[in-house]
Structures are given as structure tokens and as C-alpha cells.
Amino acid sequence: MSSEQVELFSEYRDRFVEGVRSHALQTAARGDPEGFDLAIWAIRRLALEEESFSADDVRGVAHIGSNATGAALAYLRREREIEVVGFTTSRIPSRHGAAIRLWRRA
């Protein structure tokens, strides 16, 4: 592959990934609009009140169990309202101690 082809492929890949992410966020927001709005509210509240927080904390404040939490976190990260500062272990039993991101206000 020439460097021109590599650059063209990289641009295509970036646009494709952006389109897929945008579609996923829209689908999650449409699937549970109330949950999405509630998650946005909870994340903004936690970002103001806590040094750092996780998706588990968002679910605890908002009492939502849908994909809306992840979609809301992704949306606010994209809007540069929050940023990742590390990882922690999930406290939700069904997550079996999975690693999850720690967030803070950007």
C-alpha cells in the first residue's frame, strides 16, 4: 500500500467509525429517551459534586438499568463535558467485577 492509500483508508475508517458511534448514540437515546435524559442529569450532577464517578454511580443516582447510561456517558464525553481519569471495578454483581471507567468533569 502506498502512503496515499494508507491516508485515504485512515480517513475512510475514521468517518465510518464516527458514523457508527453517532448511530449507536441516537439509537440508545431513541430507545429510552427518558432514561437517556435522566442519565444526562445524573452525570452532570455527579460531575459537579464528586471528584470522580463511574457508571455504577450514575445508575445508583438515576436508578436506570438500560443502555442509556453508556450512551449518555459517550455523548457527554464527545461534548467534552467529562473525561476519563482511570478505571475501577464494578460493584454491580451481574458485571462480575469488570473494569469500568472513572470519569470527572472536563
Q: How many helices (H) and strands (E) does the chain have?
A: 4, 3
Tell me the one-letter amino acid at 90.
Answer: S
Tens of pLDDT, residues 53-80? 999 999 999 888 768 899 899 999 999 9
Domains and CATH numbers, the chain: 3-105 (1.10.10)
Tens of pLDDT, residues 8-29? 778 877 787 677 667 666 766 6
What pLDDT shows up at residue 98? 95
CA distance 30 to 43: 19
User: What's this model's pTM, rounded to 2 decimal places?
Assistant: 0.74
Cβ-based neighbours of 51, under 8 Å, separated by 6 or more? 104
What pLDDT shows up at residue 32? 78
